[in-house]
Amino acid sequence: MKINNFNKIILTTIILTTIMISSMTVSADDVSTGNRSVFIPVEGISQDSEYVYPIQPGTAEWANIIDHSVKTAVCEIPTDTLNGMTTDNLVQAFLDYPLLIDMYAYDSYEEGYEAVMDEFNGLQELTQRPDAGPVLLAQYQAMQPVTASDFSNVARMPINEQTQETQRLYDGMIQLSSMEVLLAQDVFTTQLNSSEKAELESAVDSNYSIKMSQPEIYSATTSAFYDTAEEATNGLISTTTTATYDGYLYDNSGNGYGYYLATIMTPKGTGVTIKNVQQDMTATEKASLKSQVASAYPAVTFLRDATPLYNCHSYAWYSTAGQYWLDSPILYWTDGSYSLSSGPTVGGKIVYKKTNGTVTHSGIVSVVYSGASPGINYNHVDLVDVTSKWGMLGLYRHAGVCCPYWNGDNVNYPNDGAVSNTVVYYN
């Protein structure tokens, strides 16, 4: 799908409108209550209402935005509003974030967290709140895993209510695992006292047990907290309750959702280590993740279900049959099997990178359109359609700019110091 200037016009209009509305200058202070700092929102802004994103999935306005960098821009919370939000409402804004599914489009929960952190100022602000850890814990304790009985109850509802209620359950599954990803981060767990850490471990263990008792519902997302805690190596959970993980490819029993290592060869005969994953997702997890992508990216074409059996690099560089999980494709071009190309060609490889060299995604170019890109780092990404596997999510055909890995020209990545991103092509 070729991208025109319409999205840029939308973005400019929204920014101008935001500036006019957000004319009030505000500030925020931290105060100390006992031994704990508590965030006190500024006066003059309603503190009791949840933040409502100005353009939301399901609307014609959202459907007209193709470029992911424009999507993230319209989801930015105005600074004065951000400073006036209670931490409770800020957590809810994170759970309501229209692109929350981006967290699941990478090779691990931790990478997904960092990606959303880079693109969303609401999460950036949350990490600065001194009371975020306790607030996250309190909200998490109020949440419950979705169970098979919940879906059975939906089946007994009137037909016209079932779709909406099923979507609510799908949303709940994603929101619970997303909360677990956040609570496994050092920035939040270090705000908890010893009693609260014990409460967190108890709540996580309880929810994990519930999910383990629902094998028809949970598999890949059973242990989001444990998996992320291991990835982040924050040491919150004791070694007696933590097994060996590698991202969401293991659960905390140390088996069942695992893999074994194997070796494949590049066309030049270089050995590449891959993961042969042993267990797929449940049908419910696949449906839940598919619904979230459809909501956030209505312009993409769904091709195959979500699965952890293979990822983007394996699909693009090894086999489109989708067999293995490949952590890095770098050996495919460093050994000369593929050469850097000056532009895209149908059937060639496309690699999304940050300017610090970090490879974030691989795909196969499906269509090349004619035209000129608006910025040097675009490198024709707005003139191609791509077929690619999105992390643990499904296989999609999409415009080059319509995916979680494109954040526009000259974007800042606070996590690793990269100041832009780009794409390169190989044949």
SS3 390: coil
Q: Which residues lie across from 36 on neighbouring strands?
A: 33
CA-CA distance, 42 to 29, in Å (whole number)?
8
Least Cα distance to 3 among 369, 426, 389, 295 occurs for 369
Per-residue confidence (pLDDT) for residue 109, from 0 to 100: 94
- Per-residue pLDDT, 29: 43
- CB hemisphere CA count around 198 (13 angstroms): 3
Strands (E), 61-172: none
Q: What is the pLDDT of residue 232?
A: 66
Which amino acid, residue 83?
N
Residues paired with 262 in a beta bridge? 274
Per-residue tens of pLDDT for the chain, all 427 residues: 555 544 444 443 443 344 334 333 333 444 444 445 545 544 434 445 799 999 999 999 999 999 999 999 999 999 999 999 999 999 999 999 999 999 999 999 999 999 999 999 999 999 999 999 999 999 999 999 999 999 999 999 999 999 999 999 999 999 999 999 999 999 999 999 999 999 999 999 999 999 999 999 999 889 899 888 877 654 344 332 333 334 444 433 443 347 889 999 999 999 999 999 888 999 999 999 999 999 999 999 999 999 999 999 999 999 999 989 999 999 999 999 999 998 899 999 999 988 778 899 999 999 999 887 666 567 889 999 999 999 999 999 999 999 999 988 666 767 777 767 789 999 9
Distance of CA 34 to the CA centre of its chain: 36
Total residue length of the chain? 427
Residue 260 is predicted with a pLDDT of 86
Amino acid at 375: G
Alpha carbon of 122 to those of 90, 110, 141, 184, 274: distances in Å?
7, 17, 22, 18, 36
**Contact of 382 with 2, CB cutoff 8 Å:** yes
Confidence at residue 119, expressed as pLDDT on a 0 to 100 scale: 93
Residue 102 CA to residue 97 CA, distance in Å, equals: 10
Amino acid (one-letter) located at 147: T
CB atoms within 10 A of CB 240: 5
**CA–CA distance, 150 with 218 (Å, rounded to integer):** 14
Could you tell me which of 96, 51, 98, 99 has the C-alpha nearest to residue 77? 51
pLDDT of residue 341: 92
